[in-house]
């Protein structure tokens, strides 16, 4: 069969890859560190820029190209970085999975020291 004949019988669907040209920061590279490729290592370039306030409610990942017309999923009431972000969360997560922590067993809950009353009240507002 000639190449021309094979092409005529080609019924494969060829995806549209135009989206690959629309990017906010093409070519960002992450290099594994001493501990391998960690969550913290992924926070580079625009992917590591955490805005002080986030109004997008489409679950668009940080650094993703925004698409017009994507409906909001709604329901988010906490949009400020100060309400939901901890700079060391990625490192704590990495440590927990590397050590295979089981919080119910491995966290010394009986040694926990109560927070000062003002901090406890502030945390109660965040949880509710």
Domain count of the chain?
Answer: 1
In angstroms, rounded to a whole number, what is the distance separating the alpha carbons of residues 122 and 107? Answer: 23
CA atoms within 13 A on the CB side of 37: 5
Question: Is 110 a domain residue?
Answer: yes
Secondary structure element (H or E) that encloses residue 50, with its range:
none
- As a whole number of angstroms, the distance between CA 104 and CA 86 comes to 22
* pTM for this model (two decimals): 0.50
In a domain? residue 9: no
Domain that holds residue 92: 21-127
3-state secondary structure of 89: helix
Please check whether residue 92 lies inside any domain of the structure: yes
Q: What is the pLDDT of residues 71-113, one digit of tens each?
A: 888 777 888 888 888 888 888 888 888 888 788 888 888 998 8
Per the domain annotation, does 41 fall within a domain?
A: yes
pLDDT, mean of residues 43-47: 83
In a domain, 11, yes or no: no
- Residue 13 within any structural domain of the chain: no
- Helix (H), strand (E) at residue 12: none
CA 13/CA 114 separation, integer angstroms: 61
Residue 114 in any domain: the answer is: yes
Report residue 118 as tokens: 């003002």
């Amino acid at each position: 069969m000639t190449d021309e004949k094979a092409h005529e019988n080609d019924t494969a669907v060829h995806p549209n890859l135009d989206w690959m040209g629309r990017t906010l920061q093409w070519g960002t590279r992450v290099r594994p560190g001493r501990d391998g490729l960690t969550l913290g290592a992924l926070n580079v370039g625009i992917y590591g820029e955490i805005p002080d306030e986030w109004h997008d409610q489409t679950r668009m990942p940080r650094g993703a190209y925004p698409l017009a017309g994507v409906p909001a999923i709604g329901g988010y009431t906490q949009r400020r970085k100060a309400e939901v972000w901890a700079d060391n969360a990625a490192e704590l997560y990495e440590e927990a999975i590397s050590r295979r922590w089981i919080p119910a067993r491995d966290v010394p809950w009986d040694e926990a020291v109560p927070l000062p009353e003002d901090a406890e009240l502030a945390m109660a507002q965040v949880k509710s």
